[in-house]
Amino acid sequence: MKSAHYLSTQVHASSKKFAGFIDGEPVAFLAYRHFQHPHTRNLKMEHRLVVLPIRPAAGRRSGAPSAGRCPARGRSR
């Protein structure tokens, strides 16, 4: 049986990738790409969103997550 597409680790080559970090630890990943539309320009479509669940035993973390370009792309925030 073929696995569901949303369980794949493949991300569209032209997508923009972002990662969210808390205390230097990656906790979220987002990829979006251009959505072609015959009448509207500059539409974007979310391609992949992954957020790790909160671990109750870890307690409450201080500070908000910071968003930045995915380090794998070689670009900084």
Tokens representing residue 17 in the block? 């990738």
Give the model's pLDDT for residue 45.
Answer: 87
Give the model's pLDDT for residue 58.
Answer: 56
Q: What is the pLDDT along the chain (77 residues), one digit of tens a residue?
A: 566 666 677 787 888 999 999 889 899 999 998 888 899 888 888 888 888 887 665 555 555 445 555 555 444 44
pTM: 0.57
Distance CA 47, CA 37 (A): 16
Give the model's pLDDT for residue 1.
Answer: 56
